[in-house]
Amino acid sequence: MKFHFAKRSIPTFLFLGAAVLYLWGCSASIDTSQLPPSQRYEYAVKLYHDKDYQEALKEFQAIVLQYPGNVIIDSSQYYLGMTRYQRGEYILGAYEFSRLIKNMPSSKLVPIAQYMLAECYYKLSPYFELDQKYTRKAISEFQAFIDFFPADPKVPDAEKKIAEMNDKLAHKEYHTAYIYNKMDYYKAALIYYNLVIDNYHETKYGPLAMLDKINLLISRKRNDEALASISKFIDLYPNDSHIKEVQKLKSSLEDKLSAAK
């Protein structure tokens, strides 16, 4: 790899060698605009692996702008996304990965770009009580990754992260139901318990929401509805840790209904 350096007055061969070594280690001193595309790409990749993300970002941006039809363009676009990701610039990273997917659909890097697009949104997913728009985006993009590339070795990891984020969404809805229940806003509480039961019954919050709903219905003397929910609980969660409690509630309600008749 050849690099062009500014002319300097060096008194001895020893100092010349030291200066060359210095310039190799100082990215800002190299005039990369004179390099062929492949060598400039190799240099940018070296900057990336050396964690000099600021300079790597500049180089990959320049490559993408200056060599749009070159064979290195998809790799450069991918590294541009990865550089943003490593800098914690996840929104910008998602944008760069989506550009690769949209503009270079035949690239062999599309699967990993799709995964990293989802990963950027995953990194933006906040604490469960906050707005969850990025959580939903991450789920959607991970699901797209699974749907389009089902044989990819990263599919199990994507599935695990989808489950984790569904848990977070369920937690948010369950927490809202719990607060409404404590405030005696029963109708609102039932709405949110039903959201958890209908949309996230496979998460750990599914049986909790259903048990709370059962107790809420019993407290409102809506015993027929409570029994229907109890039957559903027993069908869906026969091995849940609360199953004995639910079965006792079932027996108690049946006795009450029988006595009333």
pLDDT digits (tens, 9 = 90+) for 166-213: 999 999 999 999 999 999 999 999 999 999 999 999 999 999 999 999
pLDDT of 260 reads 72
Q: Residues 218, 256: contact at Cβ < 8 Å?
A: no
Is the pLDDT at 216 greater than 60? The verdict is yes
